[in-house]
Amino acid sequence: MAESTMTNEEYLSILNSMKEGFQVVDQDLRYVFLNKSAEEHSRMLPGSLIGRKMTECYPGIEKTKLFELIIDTLERKNHNEFDNEFTYPNGEKGWFRISIQPSDNQIFIISTDITEIIKKNKELEQFAYITSHDLQEPLRTIMSLSQLMSSTYKGRLDEKADKYLRYIDETSQRMSDLIKGLLDYSRIGSERELTNIDCNELLNAISDDLQENIRESKAQIEVGELPEIRGYETELRMLFQNLISNALKFQKKDNKPRVTIDARKEMGGWEFACTDNGIGIAPENRERIFDIFQRLNKKTRYKGTGIGLAHCRKIVDLHGGKIRVESELGQGSTFYVFLPAQQ
Ligand code: ADP
């Protein structure tokens, strides 16, 4: 291999020109190196961290998720990545995407400042909330006027007029469903409260709510031994309810739905699995179904707005988790939800 022609100074200058923070921490959690951005991110005096222990520089860090993941990378050589929200000493909030990578006897911590992106997302959510909220009012007026026209003029105009009125009714109802979905979406998590949740009880409550649906479709729902976790109850209820409703809905004609919900302990949390024997999802669609308003099937065959799985993803994100699907077309799907242990 050709020898590198770069000097240490040149390497250093590259590291210092990166906008990402780059830190090296040793086995005893002492700072070995910080590039310029990492020093800026730390908001400590330049050079004041080198040689000192993390626990000494940031008292209380032992109780944070960042610390837990650092230990995981040190001890088990795992690569970890997560979005870290934190408050600076002056009360200002910041967000960093942190990537922790193992090396021989050290770890590398790479931090990207995502404060602007998070703030933009929050603005967009606020925008979605305000528009969907304000659109409801004129839509309600359209709906009631069209109903009034239907009841007053039905049969008194020609057939075409009746048909057009019916279309207006149906379309405005659909628009109302979409707007309501968007409003619910933007509200998710706004009043979240972290509590202990017995997932078996949660799933029982959801089965009770879906009783009519289950009876009508003659579905069989099996719930395995589920854990008690810390999380946002209202949101998690919505998550599992959406997954089970979809499992019951996206079925081949005359098929008896069979749905199982299980959980297993994973590194740092629990992974839930919701399996069905439904129509399945083609590989090229397995990502986009989690986007808002994305639907794969004819709306006449399966009713819906395409927002349920977007809700699910937002709820899982709120918990710092991951959602994905594995599926075989025509055979069924399994939705996996990983929820990390909350502090
Ligand atoms: P909706 O149920 O309102 O259509 P979702 O966001 O819940 O919207 O789902 C998006 C799309 O993903 C659905 O329209 C459907 O095509 C597909 N999908 C979701 N769950 C399943 C499932 N269990 N089996 C097969 N396809 C599914």
Strand partners, 37: none
Which residue out of 178, 239, 248, 289 has the highest number of ligand 1 atoms within 8 Å of its CB and is therefore the one to mutate?
289
Distance 283 CA to ligand 1 centre (A): 14
The model carries a pTM of 0.78
Is the pLDDT reported for residue 121 higher than 90? no
Distance 218 CA to ligand 1 centre (A): 20
Distance 64 CA to ligand 1 centre (A): 36
Reported as a pLDDT band with limits 50, 70 and 90, residue 297 is confident
Could you identify the atom of ligand 1 that is nearest to the CA of residue 280? 25
Q: Using an 8 Å Cβ cutoff, are 210 and 244 in contact?
A: yes
Is the pLDDT reported for residue 50 higher than 70? yes
Give the pLDDT confidence score for residue 19 in this predicted structure.
Answer: 95
Give the pLDDT confidence score for residue 3 in this predicted structure.
Answer: 65
Give the pLDDT confidence score for residue 26 in this predicted structure.
Answer: 96
Distance 77 CA to ligand 1 centre (A): 37
- One-letter amino acid for residue 93 of the chain: K
What are 312-332's pLDDT values in tens digits? Answer: 999 999 998 999 999 999 999
- One-letter amino acid for residue 202 of the chain: L
- 14 by Cβ neighbours in 10 Å (0-12 / 13-18 / 19+) ranks as exposed
Give the pLDDT confidence score for residue 60 in this predicted structure.
Answer: 87
Residues 123-137 have a mean pLDDT of 91
Distance of alpha carbon 281 from its chain centroid, rounded?
20
Distance of alpha carbon 186 from its chain centroid, rounded?
13
Is the pLDDT reported for residue 301 higher than 90? no
Distance 289 CA to ligand 1 centre (A): 7
Could you identify the atom of ligand 1 that is nearest to the CA of residue 247? 23
Q: Ligand 1, atom 27: nearest CA belongs to which residue?
A: 250
- One-letter amino acid for residue 46 of the chain: P
Name the residue with tokens 């528009």: 131
- 125 φ/ψ sector (left φ>0, alpha ψ -120 to 50, else beta): alpha
Give the integer Cα–Cα distance in Å for 247 and 265: 23
User: How high does pLDDT run on average in the chain?
Assistant: 91
Residues 236-259 have a mean pLDDT of 95
Q: Ligand 1, atom 16: nearest CA belongs to which residue?
A: 296
Distance 125 CA to ligand 1 centre (A): 23
Is the pLDDT reported for residue 142 higher than 70? yes
| Size of the chain in residues | 343
Is the pLDDT reported for residue 205 higher than 70? yes
> What is the bridge-based pairing of β-strands 269-276 and 106-113?
unpaired
Reported as a pLDDT band with limits 50, 70 and 90, residue 2 is low
Beta strands in the chain (DSSP E): 21-26, 31-34, 80-87, 93-102, 106-113, 194-198, 220-223, 228-232, 258-266, 269-276, 322-328, 332-340
**DSSP codes of every residue in 113-165:** E-HHHHHHHHHHHHHHHHHHHHHHHHHHHHHHHHHHHHHHHTTTS-HHHHHHH
Give the pLDDT confidence score for residue 305 in this predicted structure.
Answer: 86
Give the integer Cα–Cα distance in Å for 333 and 279: 8
Ligand 1: lining residues by beta carbon, under 6 Å: 242, 246-247, 250, 276, 278-281, 289, 294-297, 304-310, 333
Give the pLDDT confidence score for residue 1 in this predicted structure.
Answer: 55
Give the pLDDT confidence score for residue 109 in this predicted structure.
Answer: 96
In this structure, what token pair is assigned to residue 280? Answer: 């399945």
Which residue out of 295, 311, 315 has the highest number of ligand 1 atoms within 8 Å of its CB and is therefore the one to mutate?
295
Distance 246 CA to ligand 1 centre (A): 6
